[in-house]
Structure 1
Amino acid sequence: MHALPSHDALRQILPSVIFELADRFVRAGFEISLVGGPVRDLFLGRVSPDLDFTTSATPEQTVKAISGWADNIWDVGREFGTIAFKKDGFTLEVTTYRADAYDKDSRKPIVAFGDNLRDDLFRRDFTMNAMALRLPDLELVDPFDGVDSLREGLIRTPGSPDISFSDDPLRMMRAARFASQLRIEVSPEVRQAMAEMTERIDIISAERVRDELVKLINGADPRAGIDLLVDSGLADKVLPEVSALRLEIDEHHRHKDVYQHSLTVLEQAIGHETDTDGAVPGPDFILRFAALMHDVGKPATRKFESNGAVSFRHHDMVGSKLVKQRMRALRFDKDTTKAVARLVELHMRFYGYGEAGWTDSAVRRYVTDAGDLLERLHRLTRSDVTTRNRRKAERLGFAYDDLETRIAEITEQEELNAIRPDLNGEQIMSLLGIKAGPMVGRAYNFMLNLRLDDGPLGEEIAGERLQAWWAEQPESQAGEHDK
């Protein structure tokens, strides 16, 4: 934790647009303060991209104060007291002092505007976010000891945590998110309140839960955030498949349980990200979430063998289906859902390569099935090796090195990443004398499989093979195709 910079230093650090805004409000007779995350981040040695303010002005008075100065204004949050606008490339939000009340069965507060800064800070989620800098003199206002919370590395609430979480249950997810993002712990009373109030999360929309989960997974220490969700019981509501992993013993008998194994895979996957550039720039939610969820099919597929071993046959396929169900329930978009589920489905494909080796055809299929997820699949597969047996880990690592080398060689020879049959659809129709329809699709799939199995053949040989295949089809023999 850093000390708050001096006034002169703050004026150099903070964007000038803050002081321009403050001048307009003060001249109009209103109080205004920089509040929340931007103030907290100053103690963490960074400048927040968010610029949030609280003011004594009403929304209408705020609009009047910034009209003609702001580049553009939108007021979709007016009923909640928030006016957002852009100025010089910055997005700013100014919210009227709030003193909200809550209905225990509602997802939204009953908006009530307040008349002082302290009451506004009291209604905020955590003490570290309940600090403000009065503008323009940059006086720190910290009535609930947010600085002490940061210094101790603890997440606390300004008031009683059970009341805070009852008012807005999403704050429980935010606690886990901050544990991940800021590498800090929750206080004992916050942890207890989370455990006692998990049912309250049911009134929160899936979209809001999803957004906090994404921020958690993309944080600096997602293991800490997931642990908090699981230990508190909140994961039973939002990620029950992960909670279930605690009960399952890994088949290698080298880990405490599959849950701990999955968290280790997540951490190792983060280590395989390529910073802000490269093949998989981090933080990469798709890779990270696939790493966390890759074994969620194990509880449903666990089988005790006659020799005492435990197996999880087809847990990859079962897990992929469970991932789709969970991500759909959390309202993830289709592309992200499809990508994570596909990685879970493919994460076991590599095993066996080291013992038996693969034909060129098998390598082609591996690349084709992975598609644009190949780089992520490389990293997920490597991350899944958590054995403490050094010799086994080295053997698997060498085997995957060899596979990647073969992929690179075949790619160079055949442009594997853009595999297409030797004949396209129009050529197929011309050669076989058929019109567009299901038969063209079947013929195209035959040509694609031929390409995967035998590599590039050239149009002449490929045409001969296609005609031989066509001669064996009932449609050709019976003359049912439409010439």
Structure 2
Amino acid sequence: MIGVDGQAMNRFQQKIELRDGEALFQVGGSVRDRLLGRTPADVDGVLLTPDPEGAGGRLTQAGLAPVVGRNGGRAWRGRGIDLTVWPREPGQPVEEALRHEALQRDFTLNALYSRWGIEEVIDPLGGQADLRRGIVRATGAGALVRDPVRVLRLARLASGLDFQVDPATLAWARAVDPGLAAGERVGREVLAWLTQSAAPGKGLDLWADSGAIRAIPEVAALQGVAQRADYHPEGDVWIHTGQVLDRAAQLGQGLERGALGVLMLSALFHDVGKAITTRWELGRWRAHGHEAVSRDLTQSRLKGWGLGNRVVGWTVRLVADHGRPMALARDGASLTGWWRLLDGHPCPELLFLLAQADSQGRVAAGEGEPSPPLFTAGMPFRAALDRWGQIPMLSGGHLLAAGVRPGPAVGRGLTLLRRAAFLGRWREGEPIAPLLRQAGLLAGRAKG
């Protein structure tokens, strides 16, 4: 990835061999983030050219490829660069061409330019003033209508930067249905919000206020869904979800990007089933079976976002299991109970973090910054995870050498030995034959 490395940017400019009438600029997030004192993850650029079609070959040689269906075929991406190719009429002043390009962008703070590799900012729409004021403002009345996903980006940027939204922009956003955007693009914006904001839960109300939350109807439905006050002094499921998101973001610091995305998605969706299952029964609010409903709703939504099998599978599993650690701890479960939770689980450490965020996202409103509640399942769950991590590494070869026949018996034998090690009934170095024979997996004389 090129990032903002000056030498790499110079090499890119040399490779595309600018022609007469062409000019290359940085734009958008890379300029905005630099002004905010942040390190951009990549480079957004604009190539002004009188010959957009003819520039394609040079961009390909420089390592970029066209992005199908984006900006009418004028978008290119590669080597850490997102580049828009914008037509410049013969003799047209650069400033005029940039202003036309800027008016096609989403927000003024993303319509800031600087010549490639030069820090001086060109600001055709007043984006620097909006940055100083902490305002997210659309480039015009039609900016959000042209691309409904920009409503989600509005909420993401404002919550991530802790900015206010310009009142006119907010009104324009409410008039646009973000659900019209392609599912894959919605998923990318939601993931960016969840993983790039230090306190995504605090931005949840902004997602509702701007209408962006309509792209996630399962979460929107949580507003006003009541909960037991003795379990949830913080309030309804919407408030709880916001607190869980913020706590998960804190606990997830240091996770690699993919794992953090799974954790944050599971925090967002973990209780969506309560909007369907919550009932007033026997003098209290109950949500029997909400975990299974949450699981199914999450799976359907994430598949529609095209997030990939691992992300979907792990998130769905976390949502389905999020309440089990607390239930096991509350019931004083034996090691066998913890084994049933952990056996075959794809991401037990993420489940620990989600369960902790769920447990601690229950802070009643009040003055100051109260400490989160105690994670009562933490000690027994951590003890179980430690035992899980100490299970000896076993392979089918160990069982074949002991006399187990190839086939399904090998898998059953491995599970048997791992379970015995977890429960303290077998230790590495001890004979495995007695356990295998007792389970009917070993016939005749054992070899070890």
> Residue in 2 aligned with 1:110?
none
Contact 1:179 1:224 in 2 (8 A): no
Q: Distance in 2 between matches of 1:239 and 1:14?
A: 37
CA 1:137 to 1:211, structure 2 compared with 1: closer, same or farther past 3 Å?
closer
Match of 2:440 among 467, 477, 481: 467
1 CA distance for matches of 2:419 and 2:347? Answer: 23
Work out the CA distance in 2 between the residues paired with 1:423 and 1:14. 52
Unaligned runs of 5+ in 2: 90-94, 365-369, 444-448
1:331 match: secondary structure: coil
Q: Name the structure 2 match of 1:9.
A: none
2:243/2:362 contact within 8 Å kept:
no
Cα distance change, pair 64–326 in 1 and its aligned pair in 2 (3 A): closer
User: C-alpha deviations, 1:334-387, integer Å up to 9, x for none?
Assistant: 111111111111111122444442222223223225x34111111111111234
Partner SS state of residue 47, structure 2 = strand
Q: Which amino acid aligns with 2:83?
A: E
2:318/2:351 contact within 8 Å kept: yes
Aligned CA distance change for structure 1 residues 215 and 283 (closer, same or farther; 3 Å): farther
Q: Does the C-alpha gap of structure 1 residues 454 and 402 become closer, same or farther in structure 2, counting only changes over 3 Å?
A: closer
2:254 corresponds to which of 275, 284, 289: 275
Alignment-derived partner of residue 480 in structure 1: none
- The answer to whether the 8 Å contact 2:417/2:426 transfers is no
Return closer, same or farther for 1:164/1:288 CA change in 2, 3 Å cut-off.
Answer: same
Shift, 1:121, TM fit: 1.0
1:232 — aligned with what? 210
Secondary structure, counterpart of 2:347 in structure 1: helix
Is contact 2:201–2:242 with CA below 8 Å preserved after alignment? Answer: yes
Alpha-carbon spacing, 1:260–1:139, altered in 2? closer, same or farther (3 Å): same
Code of the residue aligned with 2:129 in structure 1: it is D
Show the counterpart of 2:446: none
Inter-CA distance 233–80: structure 2 relative to 1 (3 Å threshold): same
2:167 is the alignment partner of 1:188: yes
* Counterpart selection for 1:168 from 144, 147, 150: 147
For the 8 Å contact 1:74–1:85, the answer to whether it is kept is: yes
| Alignment length (residue pairs) | 418
Point out the structure with the larger helix share.
Answer: 1
Tell me the equivalent position of 1:298: 274
1:173 touches 1:212 (CA, 8 Å); kept in 2?
yes
- Classify 1:426/1:196 alpha carbon distance in 2 versus 1 (closer, same or farther; 3 Å): farther
Matching residue within 210, 231, 235 for 1:256 = 235
**Where does residue 74 of structure 1 map in the other structure?**
65
Letter in 1 for 2:265: F
Does the aligned pair in 2 maintain the 1:319–1:344 contact within 8 Å? yes
Choose the corresponding residue for 1:54, options 38, 43, 47: 47
The match for 2:186 among 209, 212, 219 is 209
Structure 1 73/214 Cα, relative in aligned 2: closer, same or farther at 3 Å? closer
Report the Cα distance in structure 2 between the residues aligned to 1:332 and 1:137, rounded to whole angstroms: 37
What is the CA–CA distance in structure 2 between the aligned matches of 1:165 and 1:188, rounded to whole Å? 14
Give the TM-score of the pair, scaled to structure 1.
0.74
CA contact (8 A) 1:274 1:282 kept: no
Structure 2 residue 134 is matched with structure 1 residue 153: yes
Return the alpha-carbon distance in structure 2 between the equivalents of residues 392 and 42 of structure 1.
Answer: 35
2:35 to 30, 43, 60: 43
Which residue number corresponds to residue 92 of structure 2? none
Distance 2:144 2:425 in 1: 60
- Could you tell me whether the CA contact under 8 Å between 1:274 and 1:281 is conserved in 2? no
If asked which structure has higher relative contact order (CA below 8 Å, sep 6+), I would say: 2
- Partners of 2:262 and 2:414 lie apart in 1 by 29
Name 2:262's counterpart in structure 1: 286
Q: Is the 8 A contact 1:62 1:94 kept in 2?
A: no
Name the counterpart of 2:105: 124
Structure 1 position 145, deviation (Å): 0.7
Q: Quote the Cα distance in structure 1 between the aligned partners of 2:247 and 2:105.
A: 35
- The letter of the residue matching 2:354 is L
Alpha-carbon distance change, 125 to 97 in structure 1, aligned in 2, over 3 angstroms: farther
SS at match of 1:34: strand
Would you say the 8 A contact 2:114–2:120 is kept in 1? yes
How far does residue 248 in structure 1 lie from its aligned partner after superposition? 1.2
1:313 equivalent to 2:288? Answer yes
- Which of 95, 109, 122 aligns to 1:141? It is 122
Distance 1:344 1:191, change over 3 A: same
Partner in structure 2 of residue 377 of structure 1: 351
Query: Deviation digits for residues 84-112 of structure 1, max 9, x if unmatched?
Result: 565xxx6463512489xxxxxxxxxxxxx
What is the letter of the counterpart of residue 384 of structure 1? Answer: D
Which secondary structure state, in structure 2, belongs to the residue aligned with residue 467 of structure 1? coil
Distance change (3 Å), C-alpha of 1:128 and 1:245: same
> Are 2:25 and 2:114, in contact at CA under 8 Å, matched by a contact in 1?
yes
8 A contact 2:45–2:84 mirrored in 1? yes
> Does structure 2 conserve the Cα–Cα contact (< 8 Å) formed by 1:210 and 1:331?
yes
The CA deviation at 1:408 is 2.0
Amino acid at match of 2:85: T
Q: Which runs of 5+ in 1 are unaligned?
A: 1-12, 100-113, 471-483
Kindly, what percent of the aligned residue pairs are identical? Answer: 23
Matched, 1:346 2:338: no
What's the secondary structure of 1:250's corresponding residue? Answer: coil
Which of the pair has more CA radius of gyration? Answer: 1
